[in-house]
Chain A
Amino acid sequence: MKNLLLILIGLCLIVAACSKKESETFDHFFFRNDGADLFVEVNGNIASKTFLLFLHGGPGGGGTAYNSGYYADELEKEYAMVYMDQRGNGASTGNYDKGTLTLAQNSDDIYQLTRFLKAKYGQDISLFLAGHSWGGLTTCHALVTTDIQQEIKGWIEIDGAHDFVLNDRESIKLFKVLATIEIATKNNLEFWTPVLERVNEMDTLAPSVEDAGYLNAKAFEAESYLPIEYPELPDSGLPYTSLNAPNSGMSIWFANLVVNPILNADSYENPLTDRLDEISVPSLFLWGKYDLVVPPALGVSAYNLVNTTEKELVIFENSGHSPMSNEPELFVQEVKKFVELYK
């Protein structure tokens, strides 16, 4: 009996042993804005006074998917990387109304966080805004709907879907091109042949919801059949285990199910191509050549339309949707070059 009680008490004492502590290179907190408590983790060289606010993809993703790996380690050596879980995503929580699950509210969250970061770490910090995939849309939306451009030194869009409608159209085009090449060279015919048949049936100008779902699913699958690199570079490993991660796999899965349809619908209703000329901060566009999820044509479009001469587009020749994982050394090099130039 005593042993059983001791085991129970011992299990509960684990509580004190699992938290990462605040340090010169690590900080985490909830940032409250309009009912939502947004989970924010600051990793890396805080003393550098250069901060990269990095927004995840999704909708339904989370920042913890990005704060590991070679590229994260290397960038954290130089800068403070800020990983924010956007409203309804990842470990962000709160008591808020469903009606606030919008891009507009999300943009205000991002903007208020940049104000907060400056208030907390100093008005003299250099702040850059970066977004991957759906995070490319949310950063872009924040840039054109809030005063965030006054707070930041530059925008880094990484395979960002700033226009869902255009994205589907370009995805169809790129699928046709790549599938035709792969079929002609008799590569993975069992995958490419049915995909090309299905894509050829789609209305190029107005793909249906089912088409969009198919394109997205096949785009990720296609990365296994394209010349995309997956280098094994040393990294510090995942910072969390299933025990002490700020969110659990289960909650991410459910959050994804719940917020994805809502924010996806809002994303389709807010194509931002026509507003890219409102962006005047230095901009860096990083794209994988074989990204069928968010084709490079979107990067080209954004590069051409932003209203600044301080801009660069880099196409990663051996990458898919995530050049930071496919070509991490080049990715780090390009980000550092941009940040050093404009910080």
Chain B
Amino acid sequence: MQHARGSGFWALARCMLLFCLVLALEVHAQASRNLAPGFVARPEASRLVIVPADIELFSMSGGGVLEPRADWTAAAERHFQAALEAHQALRGGSMVRLDEKDLDELSEVNALHGAVAQSVFLHHMMGIMRLPTKNDSLDWSMGEGVQLLREKTGADYALFTWVRDSYASAERKAAMVAMAIFGVGLVGGSQIGYASLVDLKTGRVVWFNDLRRASGDLREAGNAAETVEALLRSFPPAR
């Protein structure tokens, strides 16, 4: 691909460098930024549906190519789901499970939520492209768009999660050390993701947290629990 060289390549390199910087800032959850105005907690008797997590794990080869790893992803999905269900903050109220195949019927609301989450991620959490009319508050709603999800599950709230993770292989780690000698910082693998809590009566996103970091490991159960912990930091309990 000859055209990858030239101005496009350097723009991309610059971009990646900045991305690394952004990643380096581990964003700590601030109560006001993660919560919609006026929302504090879920009622004790509320029902929560956990939408199947959208997870993808990659291995990064020496040359920086991402290779999808089904074994890691399958393991991560299991560990992640278990960690979610066991998480203290999610307890209280009752939980409703939704299976992957149920998503066929709910594809439109799921796709819509994906677009909403991207907007929140970009315009609210990243801190660089804020929308002035939002007044720095978490103010997004899917309105009556959540009706089908509410009816199908009978739940009051829905938790959506999304994670993309890449891990440096042994060759990659070696390459990182080698390049560091020349003063070039290579991305070694990174984890980005979000968790979003939607009130199914109003369609409002009432809580949102994102993760952007160069650490974390979803492949092992213990570490996966740590990722869930980071993702659900400040998750509003039910009381």
Q: Do A and B come from one complex?
A: no
Residues of B within 8 A of A (CB): none
Residues of A within 8 A of B (CB): none
